[in-house]
Structure 1
Amino acid sequence: MDNYGNYDGVSGGLFAGIGIVGMIFYLAVIVLYIAGLWKMFEKAGKPGWAAIIPIYNMIIIAEIVGKPVWWGVVAALVPCVNIVFSIWLINLLMKSFGKEVPLWTILALFFGIVVFPILGFGDAKYIGPTAAEATGGNSFNNLKGDFDNLKDSFGDQNNPQNPTV
């Protein structure tokens, strides 16, 4: 009987070894992500242990950026809508740590495992909540000055300069 072509034991051991190495790598990535998020929470004055609890950490992120608690619940639990809410929360989180929004938001979305430890262990400072609710209302308040200049150039339409026309 010729058993020289039977490699089932070798391939099974090889795949088991690859699986174990993959699992160790995955656990290292998760630990790095949680450690970075933990330090970010502490910089924002929130408990670091909240980074470990899956739904609660999204609620804490919503609080850090100044959004209501239900934003964190929706970002953690509602299918399809959570994608939009999570991107928005990450965008506001990058603003809250003083980072340039388009670049750092995209980096955090695709490479969060690297970005969160950089913000947590690096010299990034928490500058406060950046959501409209936390900054005093409408997010369009910064346009008010532009409209005042526009009003000055056209004059006050409620009180015309020449009433005979």
Structure 2
Amino acid sequence: MDSITTQTDLTALYGVSGVISFIIYIILAIALWKVFAKAGEPGWLAIIPIVNVFVLVKIAGFSMWLGLLYLIPIVNIIMHIIVALRVGKAFGKDTVFSVFLLWLLSIIGYLILGFGSATYDRSRIA
């Protein structure tokens, strides 16, 4: 840091990105709330940051204990792809929807699942 101005600029940038990240998280929590409710889970669990991952794993048809795989680097990416594919399948969506909208652009995908006409059927993934 050369000057106090540079440090102030960085602090302001962190504040803006923090606010944007918080807004994105709120939108994702609202989308997950609706998805959880459609799947028969308590919607308020979408608000709790780590618990929502475990519930999403349960909705994908796995044991909630497999949510611990999200803590292992590289394995978490593979697990997230598998969960996205299975959640999409449980809601009657195809592989393209699951990969692009539940894995890459998850906010948009979960908003579509939560507020759209898709219904959850666990027998689709069994």
Shorter-normalised TM range: 0.7 to 0.9
Q: Radius of gyration: which is bigger?
A: 1
Residue number among 24, 47, 52 corresponding to 1:52 in the alignment: 47
Equivalent pairs: percent with the same residue? Answer: 32
Matched, 1:94 2:84: no
Residue number among 1, 11, 15 corresponding to 1:20 in the alignment: 15
2:114 match: 120
SS of residue matched to 2:50 = helix
1:62 match: 57
1:33 match: 28
Q: Which runs of 5+ in 1 are unaligned?
A: 1-6, 136-165
- Where relative contact order (Cα < 8 A, 6+ residues apart) is larger, the structure is 2
Partner amino acid for 1:125? T
Q: Which runs of 5+ in 2 are unaligned?
A: none
CA contact (8 A) 1:94 1:101 kept: yes
What TM-score comes out, normalization by structure 2 length? 0.80
CA contact (8 A) 1:58 1:73 kept: no
Distance 1:15 1:59 in 2: 35
Partner amino acid for 2:121? I
Q: Which moved more, 1:40-49 or 1:76-85?
A: 76-85
Distance 2:73 2:38 in 1: 30
Matched, 1:42 2:34: no
Partner amino acid for 2:64? V
How many residues get paired? 124
Matched, 1:103 2:97: yes
CA RMSD in angstroms, aligned pairs only: 2.3
CA contact (8 A) 2:38 2:119 kept: yes
- Cα distance per residue 1:84-110 (max 9 Å; x no partner): 111101110011111122233222221
1:152 match: none
Distance 2:4 2:72 in 1: 44
Q: Any runs of at least 4 consecutive aligned residues in structure 1 with deviations exceeding 6 A, and if so which?
A: none
CA contact (8 A) 1:65 1:129 kept: no
